Amino acid sequence: MCGRFALTLPPEAMVQLFGAAPANDLPELPNWNICPTNAVHAVLSQEGTRRFVSLRWGFIPVWYKSPGDGPLLINARAETIAEKPAFRQAARARRCLVPASGFYEWTKDGDGKRLPWYIHPEGQEFVAFAGVWQDWTSADGLALSTCAIVTTEANEALGHIHHRMPVTVAEPDWGLWLGEAGHGAAVLMRPAPEDLFAAYRVDPRVNSNRAEGPELIEPFDG
């Protein structure tokens, strides 16, 4: 799964890399501890134009009467996304890219203590997670643009940490995932190459969703 991640690149750099027009309400960066329900950066493509926007991380299906009307949907499983009522229309028509410098996962020691790991791409500054998005409006007019990150089974390199991982979309495939290059995006929902990510233990301070600062992604030997 993906339940926490970091993004440290300047928005201006990502605007250039994605070739996307930026919105005015983008979240502040850097952020070393992006949590569910936070606003995240995302790239959409609408009528052939890429937009760099802010989305609430936590997909809200159209039938929810309030944001908390059902489970918090931060991830969408690649294996079932095309059939699940919450996601199937978005998987066809509302796909997005969510940039990340790295993400966190947890293992447990013999006493059940949660041990955080930081997982980041080797030799590059960020990756683009596959996502789906949904506009949601309540009966009293509250409007939210929301998203979920698509996950798949972990590759062998990361399977000892967690059995799931985010789907990553390589730059040559961005247009295909965003719907700019015709059909066939489903083939992208597979584990990342074995050599894409490196992982190391980090400070348990990141176990708190209130923790912040660059030290959260520094190697930890404790």
Active site residue 35: no
Catalytic residue among 2, 35, 47, 194: 2
- Structure tokens given for 45: 């493509």
Strands 197-201 and 39-46, bridge-based pairing: unpaired
Query: Of 79, 96, 105, 218, which is the active-site residue?
Result: 105
- Taking residue 193's Cβ as centre, other Cβ atoms within 10 Å add up to 11
Give strand ranges (E) for the chain: 5-7, 21-22, 31-34, 39-46, 49-57, 75-77, 95-100, 102-108, 114-121, 127-137, 143-153, 164-166, 197-201
* Pairing status of strand 143-153 against strand 114-121: unpaired
Say which residues have a Cβ less than 8 Å from residue 94's Cβ, sequence separation at least 6. 44, 132, 133, 134
132: buried, middle or exposed (CB in 10 Å: 19+, 13-18, 0-12)? buried
Has 79 been annotated as catalytic? no
Q: What Å distances lie between residue 18 and 40, 94, 148, 179, CA to CA?
A: 15, 17, 19, 14
Catalytic residue numbers, as ranges: 2, 105
